């Protein structure tokens, strides 16, 4: 018995030692795991804002990891301007500040730190020449968005940013009002500084599905209501379907609601199967979206804005005289696209085949009115998934404009479209992403710096 007891005690101690060594080994393993999986800066989102932030922080000697849920970085960047990528605008700084409306003031430091000129020199330093086109729009000379992505990739590579794709960030690791990292579909990643650069809500196939709003809200941030800012519209007039794909160049569009003018733009519009789109419409879409909850918005298309009613009437008379024996429809193609002619004549109550010489004065006046004030009724915007940019987002009141750091939680940063910032078309949204990303990467402090891997 004694021997057996003694033996069992000895074996128990032996097992305890083995067990405690296991625990010790587990502990060492866990510590190693935490250390190797610990970073100065964890960047969530591999869009332009996240890539620029990661590169800049790496350049400053920080140990950086970028977590991207898709299998590739920059999916949205690659489809910008149909793959040509309108990377910024050549406009002076005051135009930039105005372009973002309420967000302009907030962006001042970000734009001063990394403006359009610095962006272009940065791209040039990676071999990407840029060219200025119509309305100051800046494109890579190659006309290829992938040249921009390659430059950002090289920037991150040069500064040893660790890139982990297929890594979906599920939540922030928060405890006692401090940040210790993030959890992902592959486990935890540790670090005291985290950047949320997850983009907006549009084109979800690119990865922008609004995850960042939930992450920010989990840290107590306010999310300003989200809506599409650059978007097309559906019209009450279903006959637009027959005009699908028809562009109208040099048109002036005036949007009105309850007799009040709410926006005006000159440029190109495009009929679609559901309504109307095109640069001119997209440029004024944000304020139309904001008005739609109060009811439909009427738009007037002036097909010949360079002429007054009287001047255009004179030109119409000349055309009528010239086309006397021909059908009126051939006369109208001088003013509007051929596909639009039957619709305009129908609205004027004039037969398509009526001879030009038989057009009466009241009929001519009706045509004139349609040429100067062709009306459509916008009843709803297209879904946010189709928007170029998301308006609303993380409230700017709760983010430091000089650092992009949260005012609510130390070490939490935001950049890009996830913020309550949006600009018009013309390269302003990418510039905002690059500038805020750069500033965030430039601001991450020295707290808890980890030795960088060789």
Ligand X SMILES: Cc1cc2nc3c(=O)[nH]c(=O)nc-3n(C[C@H](O)[C@H](O)[C@H](O)COP(=O)(O)OP(=O)(O)OC[C@H]3O[C@@H](n4cnc5c(N)ncnc54)[C@H](O)[C@@H]3O)c2cc1C
- Binding residues vs ligand X (CB under 6 A): 44-50, 67-70, 75-77, 79-81, 85-86, 168-169, 197-199, 202-203, 207-208, 211, 388-389, 416-417, 427-430, 433
> By C-beta, is 428 or 438 nearer to ligand X?
428
CA 281, CA 107: separation in Å to the nearest integer?
26
CA 419, CA 389: separation in Å to the nearest integer?
11
- In whole angstroms, the minimum distance from the beta carbon of 107 to ligand X comes to 13
Q: Which residues contact 313 (CB under 8 A, 6 or more apart)?
A: 364, 365, 368
Residues found in the chain: 454
SS (H, E, C) 287-300: HHHHHHHHCCEEEE
Shortest CA distance to 390 belongs to which of 228, 166, 148? 228
> By C-beta, is 286 or 323 nearer to ligand X?
286
> By C-beta, is 44 or 312 nearer to ligand X?
44
CB 336 within 8 A of CB 271: no
- In whole angstroms, the minimum distance from the beta carbon of 433 to ligand X comes to 4
> By C-beta, is 136 or 296 nearer to ligand X?
136
CA 183, CA 77: separation in Å to the nearest integer?
26
> By C-beta, is 272 or 370 nearer to ligand X?
272
- In whole angstroms, the minimum distance from the beta carbon of 47 to ligand X comes to 2
> By C-beta, is 48 or 58 nearer to ligand X?
48
> By C-beta, is 370 or 436 nearer to ligand X?
436
- In whole angstroms, the minimum distance from the beta carbon of 7 to ligand X comes to 56
Shortest CA distance to 276 belongs to which of 286, 268, 266, 287? 268
CA 52, CA 6: separation in Å to the nearest integer?
67
Shortest CA distance to 370 belongs to which of 297, 314, 295, 316? 316
CA 48, CA 116: separation in Å to the nearest integer?
14
């Amino acid at each position: 018995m004694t021997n057996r007891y003694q033996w069992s005690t000895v074996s128990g101690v032996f097992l305890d030692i083995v067990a405690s060594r296991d625990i010790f080994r587990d502990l060492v393993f866990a510590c190693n795991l935490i250390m190797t999986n610990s970073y100065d800066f964890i960047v969530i989102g591999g869009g332009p804002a996240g890539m620029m932030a990661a590169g800049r922080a790496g350049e400053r000697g920080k140990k950086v990891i970028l977590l991207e849920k898709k299998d590739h970085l920059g999916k949205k960047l690659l489809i910008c301007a149909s793959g040509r990528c309108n990377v910024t605008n050549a406009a002076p700084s005051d135009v930039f500040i105005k372009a973002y409306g309420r967000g302009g003031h907030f962006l001042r430091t970000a734009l001063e730190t990394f403006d359009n000129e610095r962006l272009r020199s940065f791209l040039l330093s990676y071999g990407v020449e840029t060219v200025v086109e119509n309305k100051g729009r800046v494109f890579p000379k190659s006309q290829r968005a992938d040249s921009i992505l390659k430059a950002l990739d090289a920037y991150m590579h040069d500064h040893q940013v660790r890139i982990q794709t297929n890594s979906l960030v599920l939540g922030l690791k928060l405890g006692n009002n401090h940040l210790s990292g993030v959890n992902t579909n592959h486990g935890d990643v540790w670090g005291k500084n985290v950047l949320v650069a997850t983009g907006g809500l549009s084109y979800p196939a690119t990865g922008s599905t609004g995850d960042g709003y939930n992450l920010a809200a989990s840290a107590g941030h306010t999310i300003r209501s989200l809506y599409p800012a650059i978007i097309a519209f559906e019209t009450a007039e279903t006959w637009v379907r027959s005009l699908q794909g028809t562009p109208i160049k040099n048109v002036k569009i005036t949007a009105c609601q309850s007799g009040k003018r709410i926006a005006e733009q000159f440029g190109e519009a495009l009929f679609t199967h559901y309504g109307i789109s095109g640069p001119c419409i997209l440029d004024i879409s944000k304020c139309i979206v904001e008005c739609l909850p109060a009811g439909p918005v009427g738009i007037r298309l002036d097909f010949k804005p360079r002429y007054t009613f009287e001047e255009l009437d004179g030109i119409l008379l000349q055309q009528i005289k010239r086309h006397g024996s021909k059908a009126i429809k051939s006369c109208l193609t001088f003013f509007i696209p051929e596909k639009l002619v039957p619709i305009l004549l129908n609205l004027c109550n004039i037969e398509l085949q009526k001879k030009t010489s038989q057009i009466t004065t009241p009929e001519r006046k009706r045509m004139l009115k349609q040429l100067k004030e062709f009306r459509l009724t916008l009843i709803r915007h297209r879904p946010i998934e189709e928007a170029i940019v998301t308006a609303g987002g993380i409230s700017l009141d709760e983010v430091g404009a000089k650092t992009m750091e949260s005012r609510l939680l130390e070490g939490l940063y935001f950049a890009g479209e996830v913020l309550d910032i949006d600009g018009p078309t013309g390269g302003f949204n990418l510039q905002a992403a690059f500038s805020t990303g750069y500033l965030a990467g430039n601001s991450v402090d020295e707290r808890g710096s980890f030795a960088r891997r060789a």
